[in-house]
């Protein structure tokens, strides 16, 4: 039995373009390897790479990627605080805030709402190396719950920061989409 497409195409009909086996990076300089254009372009390319060398990285993380990033970084920071600062929960809380900001800024547009969800989970994961306790697993679990209760201000603050950044990014995204829709469809080229 055939299954037919139930949703309409999102971006209109496909334009038939000749396909190339080369990646987009290789297409730019194809055929100019020994020409003057390639030689002339070399100084500007090195100048452009020098100007981009000082820029901050701008990765785009998926929902899972942002959760892994935040969780792993907070676990490592928790271990670092346990070793260097004697399990200082205040130092851990201060280090938690930039991780929240980076997670909210680096998550991609389609997964924006995941950032305020993974941040508190990562906070708890990062407390694992710092949670003290006597008597094995039960004592360690009690130390984790106590640390979560006493450091709730940092937890709420970081979650609030991530939530605000996500809301601002979402508003800008919706505004851009409305502006593009109001401008109308582009004429075919």
Give per-residue pLDDT as tens, 150-174. Answer: 889 999 999 999 999 999 999 999 9
Query: How many Cβ atoms from other residues are within 10 Å of residue 151's Cβ?
Result: 19
Give per-residue pLDDT as tens, 24-69. Answer: 555 555 554 444 444 444 445 555 555 556 776 678 888 899 999 9
pTM: 0.64
């Amino acid at each position: 039995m055939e299954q037919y497409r139930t949703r309409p195409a999102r971006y209109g009909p496909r334009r038939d373009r000749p396909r190339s086996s080369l990646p987009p990076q290789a297409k730019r300089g194809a055929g100019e390897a020994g020409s003057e254009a390639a030689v002339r372009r070399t100084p500007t390319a090195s100048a452009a790479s020098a100007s981009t060398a000082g820029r901050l990285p701008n990765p785009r993380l998926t929902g899972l990627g942002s959760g892994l990033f935040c969780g792993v970084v907070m676990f490592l920071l928790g271990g670092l605080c346990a070793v260097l600062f004697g399990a200082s929960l205040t130092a851990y809380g201060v280090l938690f805030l930039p991780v929240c900001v980076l997670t909210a800024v680096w998550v991609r547009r389609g997964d924006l709402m995941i950032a305020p969800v993974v941040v508190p989970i990562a906070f708890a994961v990062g407390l694992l190396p710092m949670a003290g306790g006597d008597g094995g697993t039960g004592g360690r679990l009690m130390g984790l719950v106590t640390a979560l209760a006493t450091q709730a201000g940092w937890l709420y603050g970081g979650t609030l920061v991530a939530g605000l950044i996500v809301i601002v990014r979402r508003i800008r995204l919706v505004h851009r989409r409305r502006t593009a829709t109001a401008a109308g469809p582009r004429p075919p080229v």
